[in-house]
Amino acid sequence: MSPQHEKDLSQPHGDKLLHRSGNGDAWFLAKDPATGMDVTKHVSNAQTGGHISRSDVPSFLAGGANGPEHQALRTLLERGLASILIAYDIHPATGPAYDNLVQAIQSMGAWWHHLETVWIVRSDKTPEEIRDVLKVYVGADDQLLVLDISGDRAGWVGVSDAGSRWLKDNITFLTN
Protein backbone atom coordinates (compact mmCIF):
# COMPACT_ATOMS: atom_id res chain seq x y z
CA MET A 1 0.00 0.00 0.00
CA SER A 2 1.47 3.35 -0.91
CA PRO A 3 1.09 6.16 1.59
CA GLN A 4 -2.16 8.06 1.28
CA HIS A 5 -2.04 11.79 1.94
CA GLU A 6 -4.94 13.72 3.36
CA LYS A 7 -5.67 16.83 5.37
CA ASP A 8 -7.44 15.59 8.50
CA LEU A 9 -6.28 16.76 11.90
CA SER A 10 -8.64 14.51 13.87
CA GLN A 11 -7.08 11.83 16.06
CA PRO A 12 -9.38 8.83 16.61
CA HIS A 13 -9.40 7.46 20.14
CA GLY A 14 -7.90 4.15 18.94
CA ASP A 15 -4.56 5.47 17.64
CA LYS A 16 -1.45 4.42 19.61
CA LEU A 17 1.30 7.02 19.72
CA LEU A 18 4.61 5.48 18.62
CA HIS A 19 6.90 8.51 18.62
CA ARG A 20 6.76 12.30 18.64
CA SER A 21 9.81 14.07 17.24
CA GLY A 22 11.32 17.29 18.53
CA ASN A 23 9.80 19.21 15.60
CA GLY A 24 6.27 18.03 16.42
CA ASP A 25 5.85 15.26 13.84
CA ALA A 26 4.03 12.24 15.29
CA TRP A 27 3.73 8.58 14.28
CA PHE A 28 0.88 6.34 15.38
CA LEU A 29 -0.18 2.73 15.01
CA ALA A 30 -3.73 3.08 13.70
CA LYS A 31 -6.48 1.28 11.81
CA ASP A 32 -6.97 2.06 8.14
CA PRO A 33 -10.44 3.62 7.94
CA ALA A 34 -11.22 1.76 4.70
CA THR A 35 -9.86 -1.72 5.48
CA GLY A 36 -9.58 -1.90 9.26
CA MET A 37 -6.00 -3.18 8.89
CA ASP A 38 -3.14 -1.94 11.09
CA VAL A 39 -1.24 0.93 9.47
CA THR A 40 1.26 3.52 10.55
CA LYS A 41 -0.02 7.07 10.50
CA HIS A 42 2.35 10.01 10.24
CA VAL A 43 1.04 13.44 11.21
CA SER A 44 3.39 16.21 10.15
CA ASN A 45 3.82 19.19 12.44
CA ALA A 46 1.50 22.18 12.24
CA GLN A 47 4.17 24.39 10.64
CA THR A 48 4.30 22.07 7.61
CA GLY A 49 0.52 21.76 7.39
CA GLY A 50 -0.32 18.86 9.70
CA HIS A 51 -0.70 16.49 6.75
CA ILE A 52 -1.52 12.86 7.50
CA SER A 53 -0.11 9.91 5.59
CA ARG A 54 -0.71 6.23 6.17
CA SER A 55 1.29 3.21 5.07
CA ASP A 56 1.03 -0.48 5.80
CA VAL A 57 3.29 -1.79 8.54
CA PRO A 58 5.61 -3.92 6.33
CA SER A 59 6.26 -0.96 3.98
CA PHE A 60 6.93 1.33 6.94
CA LEU A 61 9.52 -1.08 8.35
CA ALA A 62 11.08 -2.06 4.99
CA GLY A 63 14.48 -1.07 3.68
CA GLY A 64 16.31 -1.08 7.00
CA ALA A 65 14.28 1.84 8.37
CA ASN A 66 15.66 2.39 11.85
CA GLY A 67 14.50 5.79 13.08
CA PRO A 68 13.05 6.14 16.58
CA GLU A 69 9.53 5.78 15.15
CA HIS A 70 10.51 2.47 13.51
CA GLN A 71 12.16 1.21 16.69
CA ALA A 72 9.08 2.14 18.73
CA LEU A 73 6.81 0.21 16.33
CA ARG A 74 9.06 -2.86 16.45
CA THR A 75 9.01 -2.77 20.26
CA LEU A 76 5.22 -2.44 20.29
CA LEU A 77 4.81 -5.33 17.85
CA GLU A 78 7.14 -7.53 19.92
CA ARG A 79 5.35 -6.72 23.14
CA GLY A 80 1.87 -6.80 21.68
CA LEU A 81 -1.37 -5.22 22.85
CA ALA A 82 -3.47 -6.57 25.67
CA SER A 83 -7.16 -6.14 26.45
CA ILE A 84 -7.27 -4.52 29.89
CA LEU A 85 -10.45 -4.24 31.97
CA ILE A 86 -10.56 -1.20 34.26
CA ALA A 87 -13.34 -0.93 36.83
CA TYR A 88 -13.67 1.64 39.61
CA ASP A 89 -15.79 3.01 42.39
CA ILE A 90 -14.91 6.72 42.59
CA HIS A 91 -16.56 9.33 44.84
CA PRO A 92 -17.86 11.68 43.60
CA ALA A 93 -18.42 10.36 40.09
CA THR A 94 -18.41 13.90 38.64
CA GLY A 95 -16.11 16.89 38.61
CA PRO A 96 -12.55 17.65 37.56
CA ALA A 97 -10.89 14.73 39.40
CA TYR A 98 -13.27 12.25 37.78
CA ASP A 99 -12.80 13.90 34.37
CA ASN A 100 -9.02 13.58 34.77
CA LEU A 101 -9.39 9.86 35.52
CA VAL A 102 -11.50 9.40 32.38
CA GLN A 103 -8.95 11.28 30.26
CA ALA A 104 -6.13 9.14 31.67
CA ILE A 105 -8.03 5.94 30.83
CA GLN A 106 -8.78 7.16 27.31
CA SER A 107 -5.08 7.93 26.78
CA MET A 108 -4.16 4.26 27.36
CA GLY A 109 -5.23 3.13 23.87
CA ALA A 110 -8.32 2.11 21.94
CA TRP A 111 -11.16 1.98 24.45
CA TRP A 112 -14.69 0.70 25.02
CA HIS A 113 -16.93 2.28 27.65
CA HIS A 114 -20.58 1.23 27.59
CA LEU A 115 -20.97 0.39 31.28
CA GLU A 116 -20.99 3.16 33.85
CA THR A 117 -17.78 2.33 35.75
CA VAL A 118 -16.15 -0.26 33.47
CA TRP A 119 -13.74 0.32 30.60
CA ILE A 120 -11.81 -2.04 28.34
CA VAL A 121 -8.69 -0.62 26.72
CA ARG A 122 -6.22 -2.09 24.21
CA SER A 123 -2.82 -1.19 25.56
CA ASP A 124 0.83 -2.18 25.50
CA LYS A 125 0.98 -1.42 29.23
CA THR A 126 0.68 -4.09 31.93
CA PRO A 127 -2.14 -3.96 34.49
CA GLU A 128 0.40 -2.86 37.09
CA GLU A 129 1.65 -0.01 34.88
CA ILE A 130 -1.93 1.13 34.25
CA ARG A 131 -2.76 0.89 37.96
CA ASP A 132 0.27 3.04 38.77
CA VAL A 133 -0.79 5.70 36.24
CA LEU A 134 -4.40 5.77 37.45
CA LYS A 135 -3.87 5.51 41.22
CA VAL A 136 -3.16 9.24 41.47
CA TYR A 137 -6.87 9.77 40.65
CA VAL A 138 -8.11 7.34 43.31
CA GLY A 139 -8.99 8.71 46.74
CA ALA A 140 -8.80 6.99 50.12
CA ASP A 141 -12.44 5.81 49.91
CA ASP A 142 -12.26 4.81 46.22
CA GLN A 143 -11.49 1.47 44.55
CA LEU A 144 -9.74 0.55 41.30
CA LEU A 145 -9.50 -2.85 39.59
CA VAL A 146 -7.24 -3.44 36.57
CA LEU A 147 -7.22 -6.87 34.88
CA ASP A 148 -5.64 -8.28 31.73
CA ILE A 149 -8.52 -10.09 30.02
CA SER A 150 -6.70 -10.90 26.76
CA GLY A 151 -7.82 -14.30 25.57
CA ASP A 152 -10.33 -14.71 28.39
CA ARG A 153 -13.78 -15.96 27.61
CA ALA A 154 -16.48 -13.31 27.67
CA GLY A 155 -20.23 -13.04 27.40
CA TRP A 156 -22.66 -10.14 27.43
CA VAL A 157 -26.24 -9.12 26.84
CA GLY A 158 -27.91 -5.78 26.23
CA VAL A 159 -24.85 -4.25 24.55
CA SER A 160 -25.39 -2.27 21.34
CA ASP A 161 -24.30 -3.69 17.97
CA ALA A 162 -21.35 -1.26 17.85
CA GLY A 163 -20.31 -2.26 21.36
CA SER A 164 -20.62 -5.95 20.55
CA ARG A 165 -18.46 -5.51 17.43
CA TRP A 166 -15.77 -3.73 19.46
CA LEU A 167 -15.76 -6.50 22.06
CA LYS A 168 -15.57 -9.23 19.41
CA ASP A 169 -12.68 -7.46 17.69
CA ASN A 170 -10.69 -6.86 20.89
CA ILE A 171 -11.17 -9.92 23.09
CA THR A 172 -9.69 -13.09 21.63
CA PHE A 173 -12.08 -15.83 22.78
CA LEU A 174 -15.76 -15.07 23.00
CA THR A 175 -18.89 -16.85 24.16
CA ASN A 176 -21.61 -14.41 23.26
In the chain, where are the structural domains located? Answer: 4-79, 82-170
How many angstroms separate the first and last alpha carbons of the chain? 35
Query: Do residues 118 and 86 lie in contact, with contact meaning Cβ atoms separated by under 8 Å?
Result: yes
pTM: 0.53
Q: How far apart are CA 78 and CA 80, in angstroms?
A: 6
**Per-residue pLDDT tens digits of the chain, which is 176 residues long:** 333 333 333 344 567 788 889 999 999 888 877 777 788 999 999 899 989 999 988 889 988 788 999 988 888 777 777 889 999 998 887 888 889 999 999 988 888 888 889 999 988 788 888 999 999 998 888 989 998 887 666 777 777 888 777 777 766 544 44
Work out whether the CA dihedral 164, 125, 90, 106 comes out positive or negative. negative
* CATH C-level class of 82-170: alpha beta
